[in-house]
Amino acid sequence: MLADGFTWDLGSDLHQLFQFHFMVNAYRAGTVVAVVAGLIGWFLVLRRQSFVGHTLAIIAFPGASGAVLIGISAAWGYFGFCVAGALVIGAVRRGRPGEFSEESAVVGTVQAFALACGFLFVTLYHGLLEDVNTLLFGSFLGITDAQVRTLLAVGLGALIALAVIARPLRFASIDPDVAAARGVPVRVVSTVFLVVVALAVAETSQITGALLVFSLLVVPPATAQAITARPVLSAALAVAQALLATWVGLAISYFTDYPSGFTITTLAFAAYLLVHGARWMATGRHRLRLAR
């Protein structure tokens, strides 16, 4: 795009990469988002709630486009709709202890309707149709200093809340019944966690777009948990992978014409495939040895 092109002199590449302020801001925002998404996603995968993340992200799309329509920053729409959605999901869960029989039909309808609302708002806005692609698939162009500060402040808040509930949350995630018996307020902890997830989803949406949040929120933690079972190590690995996918993805996207949504998802997915492939090979060889 604006760059002279990629060379094998990495020093001059880095110099090129950071010569424009928008790229510096993209890296700042990407770093904040990757750390927040890696840590919160780690709990999300542990609790097998990754589809909650998906649903919240889809709710974020009408939020963001509605905010643009009434003339306020899309960030407010992301945060407002995600947190409201998390509270609703938390409340609905409480009402129905058993498995609801047609849950998948409801989820499918709600998702499609939320996306349709987002499309309506974008159409009513009469803006460029390019905006739809930005909201859905993310863009690293034009991130302002104020947006980076907002991302940092909200991210820190979410991580502090996560740190407060981390121990009871881990207990409740691994064995909710025993945790409840030992006096852990499981309901409160899981609702607070949903709100924390909503904040993380809203942050991630602003970098990866509403449809691609999985690439930072779920894929890196899932890969890390496949590598090691030790909690601290795998959380650190998750953050490292999210950072790597974001940094390298942004760089590739800067030097080539490929969109950042594609490069970031592909890097995260490649790591996932690599780790699972290696595990599959290892168990296969092990089985072969046993058979002999």
Partner 1 sequence: MSALASASGGLGDFFAHPFVQRALLAGTGIAAASGLVGFFVVLRGQVFSGDLLSHVAFTGALAALAYGVDARVGLFVATVGVGVGLGILGERGHAGDVVIGSVFTWVLGLGVLFVSIYTTSTAASDSTASVHVLFGSIFGLTAGQAVVAASIGVAVSLAVVAIARPLLFASLDASVAQARGVPVRLLGVGFLGLVGVCADEATQAVGALLLLGLIAAPAGAALRLTDRPWVAFWCSGALAVLAVWVGVAVSYLAPDIPPSFAIMATAAGCYAAAVVAGPRRRQAVRPRSPR
| DSSP codes joined into one string, 60-119 | HHHHHHHHHHTTS-HHHHHHHHHHHHHHHHHHHHHH--SPPTTHHHHHHHHHHHHHHHHH
Which lies closer to partner 1 via its Cβ, residue 11 or residue 95? 95
Amino acid at 44: L
In angstroms, give the least distance from the CB of 18 to partner 1.
23
Which lies closer to partner 1 via its Cβ, residue 83 or residue 275? 275
Binding site for partner 1 (CB under 8 A): 45, 48, 50-51, 54, 101-102, 104-113, 115-117, 119-120, 123-124, 129-130, 132-133, 136-137, 211-212, 214-215, 218-219, 222, 257-259, 261-262, 264-266, 268-269, 272
In angstroms, give the least distance from the CB of 56 to partner 1.
13
In angstroms, give the least distance from the CB of 209 to partner 1.
8
In angstroms, give the least distance from the CB of 106 to partner 1.
7
Helix then strand count (H, E) for the chain reads: 13, 0
Closest by CA position to 32, among listed 156, 139, 115, 118: 156
Which lies closer to partner 1 via its Cβ, residue 4 or residue 257? 257
Tokens of 165: 């509930």
Amino acid at 144: T
What is the C-alpha R_g of the chain? 20
Which lies closer to partner 1 via its Cβ, residue 89 or residue 148? 89
In angstroms, give the least distance from the CB of 69 to partner 1.
12
Which lies closer to partner 1 via its Cβ, residue 22 or residue 113? 113
Q: Does residue 16 contact residue 3 with C-beta atoms inside 8 Å? A: yes
